[in-house]
A and B are shown apart, each in its own frame.
Chain A
Amino acid sequence: MDIHGFLTPPADSARRKGPHDRIVMSSRVRLARNIKDSAFPGWAKKPERIRVLELIRPAVEGLPEMKDAFADAMDALSTLDKQILVERHLISREHAAKSAGSGLVLNREETLCFMINEEDHLRMQALRPGLQLRQAWTAIDAADSELEKKLDYAFSPELGYLTACPTNIGTGIRVSAMLHLPGLVLAEQINPIIQSVNKLGLAVRGLYGEGTEALGNVFQVSNQMTLGETEAAIVERLEKVLAQIIEHEENARATLLEKKPKMVYNHIGRAYGILANAHSISSKETMNLLSLMRLGVDVGLFPGVERSLVDELFILTQPAHLQKQHSEKLSAEERDLLRADMVRERLRTVSRPLAKPSTLPPGAGLDKQ
């Protein structure tokens, strides 16, 4: 089956709801596992990688929660399809670069995704909309417990699960959340926040993880240390820090609206102006402006407009998704034209932002649930 036909349409994907999804776009827990007595994927020769793939893939496909899953070898997917999976945050950029000997198993709901022979033999992740770290951990823990009955993991009583990179050893866990933080960026408070989060042993990364920039004011926060702490303790620490970041973001928004409303309205109004009228626009600029429009929806400048409209455009305007909608190969310049056409068309029914919120919008204040 074609991966594009399998994936949830962007319109539905953008409508997924979760706790605190005003700020927390998604939660993820990833576990790294390796097979005993086998070289790690980066060092293994092709026959060994294929052997490991053929060992892991049926075990994963046999999980009850992976019924009706999409499963394929990475060399069976086109570059474009792999890029689409990256844009959906279902696989890493590193995994997209893999071909023979690597594989992917993804469930129907797109809540469980298994990368086989990425940096480690098996990287499994549970994904949830909004802030749901605990639920994600429970789900992936259960899948892992089922798999360990069939797969002989590389495990040492002292060092825990052995991973290709010493940074993942022990629990092999990476707990992360994707956050939309335009308030902290506009208030110029983002750098001190990042620094204090770093001090707590957590990493802050860009939209696509490792080594990427924070396009569209989207940041990923995740744990860095994996050894010497239980999974539950790591999840709890993340939860605490995220609760604080959410509060800081809400405070930053409230303060900006109180002290510098014109600055905020100006940014949002200009973002709308460009998005609704441009005839050529890069994906980077689109994301940064959509972020401001998302903020505009949050603070009530676009009455009647759903956040999902913006979130859908976030997905659709990215390069691979745009290319997928057209049969002929597009150059970057052509994509910029088509992207602008699509955004203009989508915003045709969206009225320009109010000069200021007519009434205090729901949730404009502190969003404490």
Chain B
Amino acid sequence: MLCCICKEKEATVHLTQIAGDKMQKVDLCEECAKTKGVNDPTGFSLADLLLGLGASQEIEQAGGGSEVRCPRCGFTQADFKKAGRLGCPDCYKTFAEALEGLLKTMHKGTRHVGKVPEALRQTRDLSDRLKLLQKRLSKAIETEDFEEAAILRDEIKQTEARRSTPAT
């Protein structure tokens, strides 16, 4: 995890602050923590730190100053700045650009590699299978192997049908 200020050094100081019912987190490298006076937890506000840098700044930059609003839930960047949480799952699309940098500093990677819901995994497997079949079909047509092409076309049709009605 990289420091969320300098984005260069490894973050070793991890802070969580609860102000009212809001919770905020920052991850800093040792040097940035020192320059920000983080060692004295009473004398500094995590909110200010976050407002000045980190999350909110990136969100602001991405929005170019104009108010971006989530089309599904009406959540804005200002709301995120205040709450440190998003409005709905679609907010990840709405604020994708702004969140990218934030996610990079927070996590090991920016792509999910863990568990996938079974139904989705099946659709994904079928999509992969379809791509493969289509590739083989073009090759069969190219080599004028029409017998093989006919078989492949049937299989593609079946796979497409299965994808549109996933087993529950």
Assess whether A43 is in contact with B107, with CB atoms less than 8 Å apart. no
Give me 17 other A-B pairs in contact (C-beta within 8 A), A43-B75, A43-B85, A156-B92 excluded: A37-B90, A38-B89, A40-B88, A144-B115, A148-B119, A149-B119, A160-B116, A162-B89, A164-B86, A166-B102, A167-B106, A169-B92, A170-B107, A170-B112, A199-B10, A228-B107, A230-B114
- The answer to whether the Cβ of B13 comes within 8 Å of any Cβ in the partner chain is yes
Assess whether A171 is in contact with B114, with CB atoms less than 8 Å apart. yes
Assess whether A155 is in contact with B86, with CB atoms less than 8 Å apart. no
- The answer to whether the Cβ of A226 comes within 8 Å of any Cβ in the partner chain is yes
- The answer to whether the Cβ of B34 comes within 8 Å of any Cβ in the partner chain is no
Interface size class of B (residues with CB under 8 A): 35 or more
Chain B positions near chain A (C-beta within 8 angstroms): 1, 10, 12-14, 16-18, 21, 23, 25, 72-73, 75, 79, 83-90, 92, 99, 102-103, 106-120, 124, 168
Assess whether B103 is in contact with A169, with CB atoms less than 8 Å apart. yes
Assess whether A39 is in contact with B87, with CB atoms less than 8 Å apart. yes
Chain B: CB-nearest residue to A195: B12
Chain B residues touching A, majority SS: loop
- Residue among A34, A145, A166, A198 having the largest count of chain B Cβ atoms under 10 Å: A166
- The CA of A230 and the CA of B108, in the complex, are separated in Å by 11
Chain A: CB-nearest residue to B123: A157
- The CA of A201 and the CA of B11, in the complex, are separated in Å by 9
Among A37, A161, A165, A171, contact of B72 (Cβ-Cβ < 8 Å):
A37
Among B73, B75, B118, contact of A145 (Cβ-Cβ < 8 Å):
B118
What would be 5 A-B contacts, judged by CB atoms less than 8 Å apart? A155-B120, A159-B111, A165-B84, A166-B103, A225-B107
Interface size class of A (residues with CB under 8 A): 35 or more
- The CA of A362 and the CA of B92, in the complex, are separated in Å by 54
Given the complex, which residues of A lie within 8 Å of B118, measured CB to CB?
145, 148-149
- The answer to whether the Cβ of A348 comes within 8 Å of any Cβ in the partner chain is no
Q: Say whether, besides A211-B16, A231-B115, A119 and B85 are in contact (CB < 8 Å).
A: yes
- Residue among B83, B86, B88 having the largest count of chain A Cβ atoms under 10 Å: B88
Chain A: CB-nearest residue to B90: A37
Among B1, B18, B115, contact of A171 (Cβ-Cβ < 8 Å):
B115
- The CA of A94 and the CA of B72, in the complex, are separated in Å by 26
- The CA of A169 and the CA of B112, in the complex, are separated in Å by 9
- The answer to whether the Cβ of A363 comes within 8 Å of any Cβ in the partner chain is no
- The answer to whether the Cβ of A21 comes within 8 Å of any Cβ in the partner chain is no
- The CA of A169 and the CA of B95, in the complex, are separated in Å by 14
- The answer to whether the Cβ of A365 comes within 8 Å of any Cβ in the partner chain is no
- The CA of A69 and the CA of B41, in the complex, are separated in Å by 42
Chain A: CB-nearest residue to B21: A97
A162 to chain B, nearest CB (A): 4
Assess whether B106 is in contact with A166, with CB atoms less than 8 Å apart. yes
A306 to chain B, nearest CB (A): 36
Within 8 A of B (CB), among A166-220: 166-167, 169-171, 173, 195, 198-199, 201, 203, 205, 210-211
- The CA of A40 and the CA of B1, in the complex, are separated in Å by 26
Assess whether B119 is in contact with A159, with CB atoms less than 8 Å apart. no
Among B17, B85, B112, contact of A42 (Cβ-Cβ < 8 Å):
B85
